[in-house]
Structure 1
Amino acid sequence: MSQEQRLEEQMLSQEAERRLSEQLDGAEKIDVDVQTDLLKIFQGQADGVSVTGQGLVMRGIRVQDIKLQTDSVAVNPLSAIFGQVELNHPINSTARIVLTETDINHALTSDFVRSKMQNFELNVEGEIVCLQPQEIQIHLLANGKIGFTGKVLLKEKGNARPVSFTAQVCPRTKHKPIMLENFNCTQGEGISLEVVVALMQKVKQLVNLPYFEFDDVVLRVKNMEVQKGTVTLLVDAHVRQIPASASNS
């Protein structure tokens, strides 16, 4: 690769890194590498983009470690020449993400996550029961499984009552989905079996969501490897657009 091409690649990489950093609340380390050359820039092409980072924080959510690699990228050549990466088409990527139990549980208390934890409705033999999440804690266990403890507010026939529960799941792998292993209500006097069954079905539905959407990124978890205190995720990501920098918003 010529020195000129290296400079073009470095320019785009630094600009993409700057724009990404502006979207973060903090980062211990971040590195972006746009894989291209001068000719491909004029053609609006790049072979790919890789991102590695540690301690990335955004909207109260902290990622311990991330490694991401995209496939080929179609970019706006004019904007690329002036040091900005603007996608002409969405791109697909794979990512390896490490999360700690502490960071996950801290994220569950963030305003962003709480805004996504909306009330849920259960259909219990034709009657609608409202379920309002109150507290959720996740436990990454040494046996490779994920434990949950939580409290919800159950609104039924004009009455509201707290319900506490515990659950344990086997994590998703490349060959099998998340399996709900057990679910127990630990508090909630007078709750009918029908409500408990409907609640179990709702929990099973939530843990098996096929994908998660985050701004211009759609994430699909392919594999989960759980160790005590940490979980490593292998994720497919569909990126619609690289976030605009604060100066351009």
Structure 2
Amino acid sequence: MSDQQSLDKQIISQVAEKSIANQLEAAEQIDIYVETDILKIVQGQADGVTFTGQGLVTKQNIRLQEIKLQTDNIDINPLGAIFGQIQLNKPVNLMARVTLTEADLNHALNSQFSRKLVQQFQVSVDGQVVDFDLQKMQISLHSQNHIELQGKVQLTENDHNRLLGFTAMLRPRTHSHPIILESFKCTQGEGISLDLIVPLMQKFQELTNLPYFQLEDINLSIKNVEIQQGKLILLMEANVNKIPDSVTQLLD
């Protein structure tokens, strides 16, 4: 590699670091390495991007303790980028390792952005629709890869609303086994009928067996979850077809 090529990459990486930092509320450390050169970057191309960050806080106050991300080839519309519109000419594959503390996780889970994704769902019982509206959720990280969930959910059944409190213990997905629900206990309300438990467990199984979940034009797959000393570590793969509006708004 020539000195000029090395200098090109350093300049481009420094510009990318500054751009990302300006879109965050706070960041303890950001390091970005863009595998490209001046000619490719003018054409909107890069052979890959490596991104690492610590103590990142988005504009919507969601904090990541640490993130390490690696992409494959990137090809964007350079004209759109000039006007602040990032348009991918082809999908981008990436791998990410994200670390959240227990406090970060609970704050993110109860944020407005997250609640839009997981707050409501439905199941059918004997042809009748039962709505679940998550009111509150608290996560505790235990040793030996156990996660305790404490929450409250409002059930709407036959136009009748009732509040249900619960505690659940589960083991997260790993390379060797799927998500395992070890226990579920009602702590407030009338409990759940057997007729409702069966479709609810079927819904849970359906969601946990999905190969990926979709956030607009991002197919995101969680490959492994690990718990270490009050931290949740996620290993994820994603296929990005375009930069979603919601992600752009998250950083606005």
TM-score, with structure 2 as normaliser: 0.83
Q: Is the 8 A contact 2:164 2:191 kept in 1?
A: no
Q: Is the 8 A contact 2:178 2:208 kept in 1?
A: no
Deviations 1:135-158 (A, max 9, x none): 111121112111211110111122
Which residue of structure 1 aligns with residue 10 of structure 2?
10
Deviations 1:10-42 (A, max 9, x none): 232223223323332322111111012345446
Deviation, structure 1 residue 161? 0.9
Which residue of structure 1 aligns with residue 224 of structure 2?
223
Deviation, structure 1 residue 47? 2.3
Q: Is the 8 A contact 2:53 2:68 kept in 1?
A: yes
Output the aligned Cα RMSD. Answer: 3.0
Distance in 2 between residues matched to 1:185 and 1:228, nearest whole Å: 28
1:207–1:20 distance in 2 versus 1, CA, 3 Å: farther
Distance in 1 between residues matched to 2:191 and 2:75, nearest whole Å: 59
- Structure 2 SS opposite 1:163: strand
Which residue of structure 2 aligns with residue 24 of structure 1?
24
Correspondence list, 1:60-139, <5 A: 60-76=61-77, 87-139=88-140
Deviation, structure 1 residue 187? 2.4
- Structure 2 SS opposite 1:238: strand
Give unpaired runs (5+ residues) of structure 1.
none
Deviations 1:33-69 (A, max 9, x none): 1012345446764321100000112233211111111
Deviation, structure 1 residue 5? 1.5
Check if 1:145 corresponds to 2:146.
yes
Deviations 1:70-127 (A, max 9, x none): 122334567899xx98643221111111111111101122111122234222211221
- Structure 1 SS opposite 2:25: coil
Give unpaired runs (5+ residues) of structure 2.
none
- Structure 2 SS opposite 1:99: strand
Q: Is the 8 A contact 1:41 1:80 kept in 2?
A: no
Q: Is the 8 A contact 2:133 2:155 kept in 1?
A: yes
Q: Give the partner amino acid of 2:133.
A: Q
Give me the identity figure in percent: 51
- Structure 1 SS opposite 2:197: helix
- Structure 2 SS opposite 1:176: coil
Q: Give the partner amino acid of 2:177.
A: K
1:205–1:146 distance in 2 versus 1, CA, 3 Å: farther
Distance in 2 between residues matched to 1:42 and 1:112, nearest whole Å: 34
